[in-house]
Amino acid sequence: MAGNITFTMIKPDAVAENHIGGITQMIEQGGFRVVAMKKTKLTAERAGKFYEVHKERPFYGDLVKYMSSGPIVAMILEKDNAVEDFRKLIGATNPAQAEEGTIRRKYAKSIEANAVHGSDSDENAQIEGDFFFAADERF
Ligand code: IDP
């Protein structure tokens, strides 16, 4: 059964370019409710841990550097079928392949600096949400 929670980050380039409001508006207009939200900065160590599944990929070192290069905005989002619907709303990893109307099509600059993260499974949504938020930060 599909869960109703997903996790997202607005990545450093999109935060630096003042797109927090624009991206959050697309998220809310897409039918998601913001359960938790925080602006924070990952250390290289924490970014490395968050993306540990990609440790063997050639872009891992650059990804860790990029994700710890400036503040991000982390959010837990709620909607029926949240993980799958949010992946649709953000679009393909590579913005050149992201469909019109998606967040990445509008805000991503490159395959790396692609504006937003979205969990790829219900299990990872839980793990990633727990990585950033305590129980008393979720409403
Ligand atoms: P996703 O974020 O669409 O789920 P993943 O394959 O899980 O994509 O990759 C995680 C993140 O790693 C991407 O969002 C992007 O920032 C970065 N990334 C993925 N593929 C590449 C690549 O080929 N070069 C550089 N960075 C990449």
Determine the distance separating the centroid of ligand 1 and the alpha carbon of 136, expressed in angstroms: 31
- Give the CATH number of the domain where residue 57 resides: 3.30.70.141
Given this model, what pLDDT does residue 112 score? Answer: 97
Q: Whole-angstrom distance between the N-terminal and C-terminal Cα of the chain?
A: 23
Residue-by-residue pLDDT tens, the chain, 139 positions: 578 999 999 999 999 999 999 999 999 999 999 999 999 999 999 999 999 999 999 999 999 999 999 999 999 999 999 999 999 999 999 999 999 999 999 999 999 999 999 999 999 999 999 999 999 999 9
Domain range holding 69? 5-137
Q: Does any ligand 1 atom lie closer than 6 A to the CB of residue 59?
A: yes
Catalytic residues: 117
Annotated binding residue 11 = yes
Token representation of residue 25? 């508006």
- Residue having the nearest C-alpha atom to atom 25 of ligand 1: 112
Asked whether 66 lines ligand 1 (CB < 6 A), one says no
- Relative to the CA of 113, which ligand 1 atom is closest? 16
What was the pLDDT predicted at 2? 78
| pLDDT at residue number 1 | 53
pLDDT for 3: 87
The domain total for the chain is 1
| CA 120 / ligand 1 centre spacing (Å) | 12
pTM of the model: 0.97
Closest CA to 91 of 78, 79, 73, 108: 108
What is the secondary structure of 44-92 as a DSSP string? HHHHHHHTGGGTTSTTHHHHHHHHTSS-EEEEEEE-TTHHHHHHHHH--
- This complex has an ipTM of 0.98
**What residues have CB less than 8 Å from 17, skipping those under 6 apart?**
none
User: How remote is the CA of residue 100 from the centroid of ligand 1, in Å?
Assistant: 19
